[in-house]
């Protein structure tokens, strides 16, 4: 099991991203990392080790930007290495992606995108294919959101995905299919997490995504749609009654049962 955190707000998000993935380590963690978006583009810091070790080595909390995603990995595809740690970047560095789950058709998709000679892979993971699909669809003229939906429709298997793009510097794109993903909602700063533990100390208003849904999250709001159809979905915001001391495995198990 892996952990995902995404934050978009009005201040530096790296400290909160690091705090969030640190609280998700009980799910298993052999490597971790984050990607933030700032005036220089997408900055990625990642390595092998638990959050405290990687933060000590790379000073994760110093990453600049008001938008970012982070991940704790428990290896499934590919060995434990810095290259295989998340987030993953597209060749043009316009997209960064974190992912939980297993993309069962990634080898087929990888062969498809490599035929044109425009895409080069830097890891052994199934996740990296998502970044190249996004880049490919944008090269064909799609907007970032259109490319995200088209990429999702090509994936087979299970996924919780969070993505940022330098072409949409104020938004996080995320989606779920048979892998938990939840939004933490509050005016000014909004969260995405694979587990409510990622943001429980800061956000108690939540919107769980259902299978087959994607969301576009900004600092002042969010929208949810079906991957298979364009119309918006309107969902009830749930007020969490969990206490801070419940953060940990028990809270995760409670979320999975509901």
Beta-carbon contacts of 191 under 8 Å, excluding residues fewer than 6 positions away, are 5, 6, 7, 20, 183, 184, 185, 198, 199, 202, 203
Output the tens digit of pLDDT for each of the chain's 258 residues. 689 999 999 899 999 999 999 999 987 899 999 999 999 999 999 999 999 999 999 999 999 999 999 999 987 777 899 999 999 999 999 999 999 999 999 999 999 999 877 899 999 999 999 999 999 999 999 999 999 999 999 999 999 999 999 999 999 999 999 999 999 988 789 999 998 888 887 767 899 999 999 999 999 999 999 999 988 999 989 887 655 444 444 333 332 232
How much is the pLDDT for 241?
A: 63
Rounded to an integer, what is the distance from CA 207 to the centroid of its chain? 16
**In this structure, what token pair is assigned to residue 169?**
């510097």
How much is the pLDDT for 186?
A: 82
SS3 content of the chain, % helix, strand, coil (to 5): 30, 35, 40
Structural domains in the chain plus CATH codes: 3-257 (3.60.20.10)
How much is the pLDDT for 116?
A: 77
> Which residue is listed with tokens 């060749």?
91
How much is the pLDDT for 243?
A: 53
Cα–Cα separations (whole angstroms), residue 84 to 33, 50, 70, 123, 177? 11, 14, 14, 5, 22
Pairing between strand 182-184 and 168-177?
A: unpaired
How much is the pLDDT for 242?
A: 56
């Amino acid at each position: 099991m892996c952990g995902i955190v995404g934050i978009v707000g009005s201040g530096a998000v790296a400290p909160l991203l690091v705090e969030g993935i640190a609280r998700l380590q009980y799910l298993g963690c052999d490597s971790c990392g984050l990607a933030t978006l700032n005036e220089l583009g997408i900055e990625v810091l990642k390595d092998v080790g638990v959050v405290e070790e990687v933060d000590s080595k790379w000073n994760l909390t110093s990453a600049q930007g008001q938008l970012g995603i982070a991940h704790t990995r428990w290896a499934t595809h590919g060995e434990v290495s810095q290259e295989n740690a998340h987030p993953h970047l597209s060749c043009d560095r316009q997209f960064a992606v974190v992912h939980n789950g297993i993309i069962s058709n990634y080898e087929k998709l990888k062969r498809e995108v490599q035929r044109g000679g425009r895409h080069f892979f830097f890891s052994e993971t199934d996740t990296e294919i998502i970044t190249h699909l996004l880049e490919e669809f944008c090269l064909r003229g799609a907007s970032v959101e259109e490319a995200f939906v088209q990429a999702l429709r090509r994936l087979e298997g299970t996924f919780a995905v969070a993505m940022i793009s330098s072409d949409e510097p104020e938004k996080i794109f995320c989606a779920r299919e048979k892998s938990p993903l939840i939004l933490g909602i509050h005016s000014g700063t909004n969260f995405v997490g694979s587990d409510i533990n990622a943001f429980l100390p800061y956000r108690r208003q939540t919107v769980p995504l259902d299978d087959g849904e994607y969301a576009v999250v900004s600092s002042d709001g969010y929208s949810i749609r079906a991957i298979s159809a364009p119309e918006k979905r309107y969902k009830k915001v749930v007020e969490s009654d969990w206490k801070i001391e419940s953060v940990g495995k028990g809270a995760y198990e409670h979320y999975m049962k509901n």
